[in-house]
Every structure is written in C-alpha cells, then in structure tokens.
Amino acid sequence: MWPDQIHAELAAAKVRFVGYVPDAGHKRLIELCQADNAMRTVVLSTEEEGIGLAAGAWLGGERTVLLMQSSGVGNVVNVLGTVKECRFPLVSIVTMRGEEGEFNPWQVPMGQATRAVLEAMGTVVHRPASAEEIAPAVNAALRLAYHSYASVAVLIPQRVIGIKSFQEQANQ
C-alpha cells in the first residue's frame, strides 16, 4: 500500500518529526509514523504551525515532514515565504480534495487552487498520477528538499485516495 511505502521512504531518509493535521487520506500513514519509535509525531492546531516546527527542528539539525489536506495549503501561504527566504528544506505530503469526484463543494475552490498557491510561493510541486508513482515521488521530494534546501510538496490525487462520499469518509 502507498502509505506503507511513504513511511518506508521517510524512515530511510531519517525523518525525525512528522507534523500533521489529520486527513482521512493520511490515516494509515499517521498510524505508521506514530508506531515508529524513531519518529515523533506532532499534532498541530493548524497547518501553519508545521512550518514553524520544521524550521525550528532544522535549526536544531533534524528533518521534519508535514502531512496535510489540500485545504491546509491555504493556511500556510504567508509562512512559505519564510521557508523560501531562509532556504529551509521542507517536504509536505498533501492529500487532495476538491478534484476528481469531490462530494463537498466547499472543498473545490482550495483544492483547485492548491498547486497554483504552492508554486506562487516558491514550492516545487510533484503530482504522482497513480498509486505506484507516489513512493518514487516522495523519494524524489526528500532528495530535492534536503540536498537542495528546497520546499517540495507531493500532491496525492483524490482519485488514488478513492473516498467517494461523506459516509465512506466517516467509515475510515
């Protein structure tokens, strides 16, 4: 499963902290990170806090990955400016809403704007097209971020997550 493969990539890259605001699409990955003694998960009040967390951890010599839903990208816009100005390495793994088969119209505006917003703030965007392409995309994002001091986001398509209704989401 792709969440297990992402976890293996994070572990291999010695990611120490995983900051997250939960999303149904990230449920499995969050559980894997919580069960990993080499990682410390930090639940956030809002996604913006994850940028401060990652910046502080990097000042202290440790790697952080952020997990969020596409709606959360809207909450980090200003602080991505700090990431760019300071050249903090940052990997964000974003589960998409508001695209293929969305069932909540309120998710659509931010979902449709996610890539443009990230790119406008200088974040490199990888968007794997299928489940098989996710782990290689995360691997590439980790290398780009930590070898080149870049902010990189991996967008996981809603089609791959495959939740099609409120009921299905509630059953996660």
Partner 1 sequence: MSLHRREVVASLLKGRKDLLVIAGLGSTAWDITAAGDSPLNFPLWGAMGQAAMTGLGLALAQPQRRVLVITGDGEMLMGLGSLATIGVQQPRNLGIVVIDNESYGETGMQATHTAGGVDLAGVARACGLRACSHEKILHEAGPAFAVVKVLAEKIPLVLPPREGALLKARFRRALLGPQADLT
Binding site for partner 1 (CB under 8 A): 16-17, 40, 42-46, 48-62, 64, 78-79, 81-82, 85-88
Residue 81 Cβ vs partner 1, minimum distance, rounded to whole Å: 6
Collapsing DSSP states into helix, strand and coil, what is residue 79? Answer: helix
Say how far apart CA 169 and CA 24 lie, in whole Å. Answer: 7
Phi, psi of 98 (to 5 degrees): 75, 20
By C-beta, is 87 or 164 nearer to partner 1? Answer: 87
Residue 88 Cβ vs partner 1, minimum distance, rounded to whole Å: 7
Instruction: Could you list the beta-strand ranges (E) of 44-98.
Output: 63-69, 90-95
- CA angle 55-46-25, nearest 5°? 100
By C-beta, is 3 or 50 nearer to partner 1? Answer: 50
By C-beta, is 2 or 58 nearer to partner 1? Answer: 58
Residue 129 Cβ vs partner 1, minimum distance, rounded to whole Å: 32
Say how far apart CA 141 and CA 124 lie, in whole Å. Answer: 9
Residue 61 Cβ vs partner 1, minimum distance, rounded to whole Å: 5
